[in-house]
């Protein structure tokens, strides 16, 4: 029978004669992790639907009941790093991050309503697909996180732009702790628009088919919003730890130097709340370089356009592939699975400004690979 397609494409006919495109990530065994193959399939199809006047909108979802997308193919990047001489840019990494960020940017700027169904696990690269959609659905079983500090990376895929726009100091807290978010958290953080039951996905598709679309973005976006709100009225949200602890998080992070914040985060290990305990433990186990890099990226991105943030993150991500901690973190968590990463440097105080600058310097000749993002 051959290997199944990594992404399934379909179109839904509606009563107005318009169609809705549907793209379904189709690798449930890997929790729909996002390799370059998926990116290369999604990008041209989204472009084709954007240019087709008969297509009123797009739905992006995933196969299986466990995950929308558990992140990018970091194990593949690990092998590319190991096969590349020290001090050189792994070609596969440069290509992957360029294409992934182009796809994420396209979703942010998509000219038609784009509904993303973020059920189950949504991490890393999955957040990049969800965050920019015009209509973002999560379910009571959604668990969203950007835990890159645990693998020596940082919240990329536009995270340096997305996280600082969250309430209070929660964005920096999430970058440093990788704390998991439930459905109510995602609404509070501005990462989701509506909560629906996962079993109502077919009801949503039927409602899309039964709606008269106009082929005009703003009108159709409003109709899709109304459709989703009607179906979401009776969904009971669980409590939001992020909202519950907002004042505490603001006090923990403050506007202090990371050296001052770090002991306060580490002290969460003794907190009576298990959500905060997990957050503190993740920070304490994470890469010191990743922590400093995350803070610096959010600082630099504060007044940048989204396109400039993706350009900056491309430099940072390629830089991570040229330094120690990213490959070491993937090795410890996903390759050897000993869960004992040996970070270099091992202490926050030893992460120098020069090391961070080395991660962020230009790693290309001539024109930036994302120079054309407007």
Which residue numbers are catalytic? 72, 125, 148, 156
The answer to whether residues 160 and 298 touch, using CB atoms and an 8 Å cutoff, is yes
Q: How far is CA 149 from the centre of its chain?
A: 14
d(CA 210, CA 53): 19
Residue 117 DSSP SS3: strand
CA distance 290 to 293: 5
Which long-range CB contacts under 8 A does 224-230 form with residues at least 24 apart? 224/57, 224/113, 224/115, 224/134, 224/135, 225/135, 225/193, 228/115, 228/135, 228/137, 228/193, 228/194, 228/196, 228/204, 229/194
Residue that is written with structure tokens 């120079």 in the block: 371
Query: For residue 7, which of 52, 49, 54 has the smallest C-alpha distance?
Result: 49
Q: Where are the beta strands (DSSP E) in 48-180?
A: 55-62, 67-69, 114-118, 121-123, 135-138, 143-145
Q: Which of helix, strand or coil describes residue 23?
A: strand
The CA radius of gyration of the chain, in Å to the nearest whole number, is 20
Q: How far apart are CA 274 and CA 268, in angstroms?
A: 9
Q: What is the DSSP letter of 135?
A: E
Give the 3-state secondary structure of residue 148: helix
Cα torsion angle, 320, 321, 327, 333, sign: positive
CA distance 348 to 287: 9
Q: Among 267, 35, 306, which Cα is nearest to 164's?
A: 306
The tokens for 170 are 């929660």
């Amino acid at each position: 029978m051959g290997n199944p397609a990594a992404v399934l494409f379909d179109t839904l006919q509606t009563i107005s004669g318009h169609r809705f495109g549907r793209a379904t990530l189709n690798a449930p065994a890997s929790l729909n992790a996002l390799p370059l193959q998926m990116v290369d399939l999604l990008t041209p199809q989204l472009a084709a639907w954007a240019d087709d006047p008969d297509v009123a909108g797009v739905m992006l979802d995933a196969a299986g009941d466990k995950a929308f997308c558990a992140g990018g193919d970091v194990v593949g990047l690990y092998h590319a790093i190991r096969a590349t001489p020290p001090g050189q840019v792994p070609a596969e990494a440069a290509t992957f991050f360029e294409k992934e960020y182009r796809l994420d940017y396209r979703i942010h700027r998509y000219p038609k309503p784009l509904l993303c169904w973020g059920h189950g696990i949504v991490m890393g690269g999955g957040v990049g697909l969800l965050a920019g959609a015009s209509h973002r659905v999560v379910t009571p079983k959604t668990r969203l996180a950007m835990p890159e500090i645990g693998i020596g990376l940082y919240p990329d895929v536009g995270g340096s732009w997305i996280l600082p726009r969250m309430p209070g100091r929660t964005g920096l807290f999430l970058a440093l702790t990788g704390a998991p978010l439930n459905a109510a958290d995602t609404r509070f953080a501005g990462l989701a628009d509506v909560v629906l039951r996962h079993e109502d996905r077919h009801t949503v598709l039927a409602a899309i088919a039964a709606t008269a679309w106009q082929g005009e973005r703003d009108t159709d976006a409003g109709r899709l919003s109304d459709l989703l709100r009607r179906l979401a009225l009776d969904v009971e949200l669980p409590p939001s730890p992020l909202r519950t602890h907002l004042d505490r998080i603001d006090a923990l992070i403050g506007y202090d130097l990371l050296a001052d914040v770090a002991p306060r985060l580490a002290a969460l290990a003794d907190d009576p709340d298990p959500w905060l305990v997990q957050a503190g433990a993740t920070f304490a186990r994470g890469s010191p370089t990743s922590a400093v890099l995350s803070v610096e990226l959010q600082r630099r991105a504060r007044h940048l356009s989204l396109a400039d943030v993706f350009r900056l993150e491309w430099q940072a991500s390629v830089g991570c592939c040229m330094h120690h901690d990213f490959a070491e973190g993937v090795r410890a968590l996903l390759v050897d699975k000993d869960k004992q990463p040996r970070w270099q440097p091992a202490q926050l105080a030893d992460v120098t400004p020069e090391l961070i600058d080395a991660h962020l310097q230009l790693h290309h000749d001539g024109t930036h690979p994302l120079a054309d993002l407007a």
